[in-house]
Structure 1
Amino acid sequence: MPLAVMLLALAQPTTAVVTAPPFQVGPSIWNPTGDYVIAGQDEPGYRRWVMGQSWRPGLVSSFHRYLMDNQVAFVVPTWQLLRTASDWARCGADPFEVPPVSDWPNVVQTLRFVRDYVVPAVGRVEPVSAYRNPILNQCAGGARESVHMTMSAIDLVPLVPIDRGVLMSRLCAAHAINGPRYNVGLGFYAKLRFHVDSWKYRTWGRNDGGSLACPSPVVRMAPPAAPPTTAPASDPLGTTPQPDPLAPR
C-alpha cells in the first residue's frame, strides 16, 4: 500500500457509526482533546512520526490490516490507537508507538465493546492514550500492573458535546447490561476522560458529587460450557489472563 494511501486510510473511519443525540452544553467551542493532546500527538505529529523511520509505515499498515481482519479497523482512526501517554513529552518518550504483535489481540474485544455499546450511548469518541510501554507507563504515573501495557485498555473522550453526568450515566448503564460478557472495565477520570478495557468486569471513579460513578458491578456468571475444540479465528488469544490493575489509568 502506498504511504499516502495508508496515511489517508488511517486518518478517518470509513464506516458509518450510530451516534447518540448530542447533549447541549452551550455555545462555547467543543474541544474534548484539548486537555490531553498536545502538538506532536495530533495528526500532523503522527504523519511526521510515521515517516521518521523507514520501517514504521509497514508496521503500522500490518497493525491496521490486523484490525481489519478482526472487523474493528474503523471503530476509531487507527493512528489514534497508537497514541501513547498524555505525558509522553515530559517523559521524553515517543508520542506514538505500535504495540508488540503479541499484544494486538488484546485490543480487539475492547474495540468491539466501544463499537457496540460506547458509541451508540455517547456518540463518536477519540482515543487519547492506548498502549504504553512499561518505562513510559511508570513515568506517566500509570498503575504498576496497568493493562495499558498489554494494549487491552484505551482512554477515550467524547467527540459529541455531552455533560459529564450524562456521559457517566449512559456508559454505566451500557456497562451494567453488556459489560460482563465482554469482561469490560470502565473507569472515569477528571472532566470527560474515561477508560475502557476488556480484562475484567469492574468500574471505578467518582462523579462530581463524590459518590461512585457506577453502582458496584454484580458479576453475572454464565452457565459452564464445554470449551471449543479450536479458538475462534476472529478472537485469537481473547481470553488470555492479564494482571489486575491496582489503580487503573
Structure 2
Amino acid sequence: MNSPLKFPLGVTAAALLLATSCTSMAETSGASINEQRKIRPVSAGNTQTDALGNLIRTKELTIEQSTTIRPANTNHYPNQPNYNTGFGEQNYSFTQWLNSASYRAGDVGQYQRYLAGYVGSNSVPPLDQLLTTARSWEKCGYEQYQLPPRELWSNMIPTLRLYDQLKKQGVIPATAEIRSTYRSPGLNACAGGAGASKHMTNGAIDIWVPEYESQPWYKSGMQDKLCQFWSSQGEAYNFGLGLYSTGAIHLDTQGYRTWGAQYSDPNSYCRYIN
C-alpha cells in the first residue's frame, strides 16, 4: 500500500496564503462592482431640475393671472356715486339725462352729498326718484328729471326726515317710491298742481306703492296709518298730507294741514278717521 503524498511544510503554507488572498480579492472586486451598479436617487437639490420646475410653475401662474375675468366697472362716473334705482338695475333714462350735459353729473353728486350730510346717506332716496319732475313731463314738453335750484336744496331736508320716519315706523312700506319732487312753475301749472304747490319750493314729494295699486285694502290700511300719524305726530313735523283717490300721496313739511282731491280740508280722507 502506497503511503500518502507528503509536501514540504513551506509549500503547504504558501498554498494556504495564496488561497486566502484570492478569496479576499474576489470579495473586494464584487463589492466594487455592486457599488458601481447601485442606482442612486435623483438629488432633490438638482439645480437644473429646480430651475425648470420653477419656470414651469411661473409660466402657469402667469397664464392663470392673465386669464382671470375681472368684474366690469359699472360706475359710469368714477368720481361720483353710482346712480341707480336702488334695486340693482341701472335706470338708463336717468343715465342718459345725466350724460346730456357735461356738468350735470357733478352737480347731481353735490346735491346728493349735501343731503347726505344732513340726513345720512342711507336716508337719501335713489336719485332717479328724487329728481323726478311730474308724470306729465313729456306731454308738457319738459324733462323727466330736474335738479332744483341750489337755493331750494335745504327745503328737502325735513321732508326726507319725515319720509324716513314713516318707513321706519311702518306707516308706509319700504317699497314706497317717489314719483314727483321739484317742479318749475311752468311744469307745475301744466301738470295741474296747486297755485301754491310746495313742489315749486322743493319741499314736497309725491309717493306711491306700486304693489298696492291692485290691492285696495292694503292701500286703505296705509292711508289710515298716515292719518293717524298726521294726527298724533304731524304737527311736530309741520306735516302737510294729501291723499288722492288715485293712490298718490303728497308729503311736505311746509305747513301742518291735510287735504284730498280738491286741495281742501273737507275733502281730506283723514277727516273720516279722526
| Fold agreement, TM-score > 0.5 | yes
Which protein has the bigger helix share? 2
2:119 aligned with 1:71: yes
Contact persistence 2:132–2:179 (CA under 8 A):
yes
Question: Which residue identity lines up with residue 191 of structure 1 in the other structure?
Answer: T
Q: Contact 1:184–1:198 at 8 Å: present in 2 too?
A: yes
Residue 5 of structure 1: CA displacement? 6.9
Matched, 1:132 2:183: yes
**Closer, same or farther: CA 9–44 of 1 in aligned 2, 3 Å:** closer
Matched, 1:149 2:234: no
Q: Which moved more, 1:54-63 or 1:5-14?
A: 5-14
Aligned pair in 2 of structure 1 residues 52, 7: CA closer, same or farther (>3 Å)? farther
Rounded to whole Å, the distance in 1 between the matches of 2:121 and 2:133 is: 18
**Matches of residues 166-245 of structure 1 in structure 2 within 5 Å?**
166-205=221-260, 212-215=268-271
Separation (CA, whole Å) in 2 of partners of 1:6 and 1:174: 37
2 CA distance for matches of 1:211 and 1:88? 27
Shift of 1:78: 2.4
Which moved further from structure 2: 81-90 or 161-170? 161-170
How many pairs were matched up?
188
**Distance apart, 1:122 and its partner CA:** 1.9
Structure 2 CA distance for partners of 1:212 and 1:146, relative to 1, 3 Å = closer
| Alpha-carbon separation, structure 1, partners of 2:86 and 2:78 | 13
For structure 1, list consecutive stretches of 5 or more residues without a partner in the other structure. Answer: 15-41, 219-249
Distance 2:87 2:155 in 1: 21
- Counterpart pick for 1:112 among 153, 158, 161: 161
Of residues 120, 123, 127, the one that matches 2:173 is 123
3-state SS of 2:255 partner: coil
Deviations 1:151-181 (A, max 9, x none): 0000001256462211110111111111101
Higher relative contact order (CA 8 A, sep 6+): 1
Task: Give the deviation of 1:138 after TM superposition.
Answer: 1.1
Report what 1:50 is aligned to.
Answer: 98
Deviation at 1:79, TM superposition (A): 2.5
Q: C-alpha offsets along residues 22-79 of structure 1, whole Å, 9 cap, x if unaligned?
A: xxxxxxxxxxxxxxxxxxxx92211110111101100100000011101254332122
Structure 2: gaps (5+ residues)? 1-74
Residues 259 and 267 in structure 2, CA contact (< 8 A), matched pair in contact too: no
Q: For the structure 1 residues 43 and 11, does the alpha-carbon distance in structure 2 shift closer, same or farther, using more than 3 Å as the test?
A: same
- Where has structure 1 moved over 6 Å in runs of 4 or more? none
User: Structure 2 counterpart of 1:167, which letter?
Assistant: M
* Corresponding residue of 1:12: 86
Larger radius of gyration: 2
Q: Say if 1:189 and 1:155 are closer, same or farther in 2 by CA, change over 3 A.
A: same
Question: In angstroms, what is the RMSD of aligned CA positions?
Answer: 2.7
Cα distance between partner residues in 2 of 1:4 and 1:160? 35
- The code of the aligned residue for 2:132 comes to R
1: CA distance between counterparts of 2:96 and 2:76? Answer: 16
Normalised by the length of structure 2, the TM-score is 0.62
- The range that moved more, 160-169 or 144-153, is 160-169
Assess, with a 3 A threshold, how the Cα gap between structure 1 residues 45 and 4 changes in structure 2: closer, same or farther: farther
Over the matched positions of the two proteins, sequence identity in percent amounts to 32
Q: CA deviation at 1:188?
A: 0.9
> 1:132 is paired with a residue of what secondary structure?
coil
